[in-house]
Chain A
Amino acid sequence: MNTHNGGRGRIEVRDVGVMFESRGAAVIAVDGVSLTVEPGEFVSLIGPSGCGKSTLLNIVAGFVQPTSGETLLDGKLISRPGSDRGVVFQQYSLFPWLTVRKNVEFGLKMQGVPGSKRETSARTLLGLAGLLSFENHYPDQLSGGMKQRVGIVRALATSPQVLLMDEPFGALDAQTRVVMQEILTNIWQKFRLSVLFVTHDIDESIFLSDKIFVMTARPGRIKAEIQVDLPRPRKPEMTTTPEFVELTQRLRALIREESLSAMGGELKDGGLGGFGMEVGPSGVGAVM
């Protein structure tokens, strides 16, 4: 389901490649990746660890410059971070010296929005996240799930067109995670944002997304693009429907190949039975 927010918030990644130097040799981290996030679309990037999915997100955020190719937001070249792209990080990134409300106000303050106006919008957002009664708490007084909810509404405060999320629920326990996913879909539907969501959790990506890009192990390329046509709003019960299960299996198969290759050596499906992997003389290094 593509909701449109006036056609704003279109992310285009065009033939992006990233290299870095490791022990005097050039390593290709991301190779020729192209993808598009349509306005209002929820898109997940999934792949084995080290496949460059976070690097891609950091490029769209403007933290990292690609070695080749380009990324555009609504046709404009992305060259540095900006408040038109909200970012939610995997680690807790709230400013510990600011109260919850002041954290949410931070972006508006940087833009020079006057105090009373900042306070009103911060309180509205905190109400939406069910955290209004914690507005004067410091981040250290909150649980992990609460911190990430503050992180999400802080990223929304400057009214960005897109939200970039880098495994935002990775540090949370399974129960909290599921609730956070529901909260996120609610917020997303309310704000009609484009979302680029990095995860390695298959269920999470299906539950949240309109479209999922599966990446290969390093060098990271797009292996498959999968459309998720489950109805909205998504409910936790849906995770047991045949459609959901089928998607899960498809994705699991795709990612398994890549995980085996990412783990190094000559791990092959079927060869794992008697721990019968053959690690050649060039071993791990050859694949890494």
Chain B
Amino acid sequence: MAAVIPLASSAAGAPVGAAPPPPAAADPAAATAAERARAWMWARRRRAAGSGLLWALSILGLLAFWFVCTRYRLEFYMRFTNVPTPADVLQKLVEVNHSTKFITNVWISVRRILTGFGIAILLAVPLGVLIGRYRTVRDLLMPAAEILRPIPAIAWVPMSIMLWPTNEVSIVFITFLGSFFPILLNTVHGVTTLDPVLVRAARCLGASEAQLFRAVILPGVMPQIFTGLAVGIGVAWVSLIAAEMISGQFGVGYFTWEAYSLVNYAEIALGMITIGMLGLVCSGVIRVVGNLVMPWRAHSAGGNR
């Protein structure tokens, strides 16, 4: 009986990446196979290096375009006459760091994002799971959510100022609103599309309703939650910058708008680039955390073409 089982593992088909230990090195066929494997790895690395080269080219291209347009003050319908050059902005970056004003503005924006986005996660994920799992909760909350959802967070600015005691809280509220709905809706969608056979499997393995949430539903919707976070952080930044420009004191959005009022062209560009960088870092952090939290996704089918 036992003899059948080892046979099975080869008959059932060996999966990729599960190569058995190599046999004696003297075997010429094995040697060529090893060579082929090495050549294949090199080809892969070359492709990865080529990819990195293209990325560098992409960023350098953008910088070059900016440089050429501003250095030669191009005018063709669009006017680059007043746009600062990359060197101007770099110089401004050094200059603003003589005092703590700029970095404080950056920090205040980051703090607002972390607070608003954090509260959005804490509310939207559990709510989304409950709405997705229980019909009663869905019928009770979704109609209201569907009415509030189409209102852009920026349209909430005047109302928000009336609602909350301080400007600071109202800006955080706007940031929260911007990320809340993408996270909520993606979570709901994740729960409703979770393969029911997984829930059944857990049930007949003895999982209680509470265990089901922790051990099956939460990990099962994790990919959609992270999709929601990726979309949500983008909307949160859009909302935050708009709110800072309209009602703000402090923050990168306020810094940029103030620069415009003071006709400080280099600071406008510096503010914009800072916003872009902060957004990039936030998305990057979410992607890295996502990969850490969902190690199984690295092995899923698909990937880069």
Contact = CB atoms under 8 A, between A and B. Distances in A.
A186 B197 contact: no
B201 interface: yes
Contacts of A182: 4, 8
Interface stretch (B129-137, B175-183, B204-212): B204-212
Contact of B197 (A93, A142, A233): A93
Interface string A122-140: 0000001111011001111
B263 interface: no
A176 B8 CA distance: 8
Given A82-B206, A110-B206, A131 B9 contact: yes
Nearest to B20: A133
Contacts of B205: 83, 106-107, 110, 154-155, 157-158
B202 interface: yes
Interface in B178-207: 195, 197-198, 200-207
B207 to A, nearest CB: 5
A87 B200 contact: yes
B17 interface: yes
Contacts of B211: 110
B208 to A, nearest CB: 7
A145 B195 CA distance: 20
A97 B299 CA distance: 10
B15 A142 contact: yes
Interface string A29-59: 0000000000000000000000000000000
A158 B1 contact: no
B122 interface: no
Contact of A106 (B15, B215, B300): B215
Nearest to A133: B18
A61 B202 CA distance: 12
Interface string B204-248: 111110010001100110100000000000000000000000000
Interface string B90-128: 000000000000000000000000000000000000000
A186 B5 CA distance: 9
B6 interface: yes
A22 interface: no
A186 B4 contact: yes
Given A62-B204, A111-B206, A130-B5, A97 B15 contact: no
A63 B200 contact: yes
B294 interface: yes
A93 B201 contact: yes
Contacts of A129: 5
A140 B219 contact: no
Nearest to A61: B204
B85 to A, nearest CB: 50
A106 B214 CA distance: 12
Contacts of A63: 200, 203-204
A93 B198 contact: yes
* Dominant secondary structure of chain B at its interface with chain A: helix
A107 B4 contact: no
B301 interface: yes
B300 to A, nearest CB: 5
Given A111-B206, A141-B299, A176 B201 contact: no
Interface in A165-197: 175-176, 179-180, 182-183, 186, 189-190
A134 B19 CA distance: 11
Contact of A146 (B5, B15, B203, B299): B15
A87 B201 contact: yes
Contacts of B216: 95
Contacts of A96: 296, 300
A128 B301 CA distance: 28
A81 B204 contact: yes
Contacts of A130: 5-6, 8-9
A89 interface: yes
B17 A141 contact: yes
B5 A85 contact: no
Contacts of B2: 186
A83 B204 contact: yes
What 10 A-B pairs have minimum CB-CB distances, sorted nearest first? A145-B12, A83-B206, A107-B205, A81-B204, A143-B13, A130-B5, A81-B203, A93-B201, A97-B219, A138-B296
Interface of B: 1-2, 4-9, 11-18, 195, 197-198, 200-208, 211, 215-216, 219-220, 222, 294-296, 299-301
12 contacts: A63-B204, A95-B201, A107-B205, A133-B18, A134-B18, A139-B296, A141-B16, A144-B12, A145-B11, A158-B205, A179-B8, A179-B11
Interface of A: 61-63, 80-83, 85-87, 89, 91, 93, 95-99, 106-107, 109-111, 128-131, 133-134, 137-146, 149, 154-155, 157-158, 175-176, 179-180, 182-183, 186, 189-190, 233
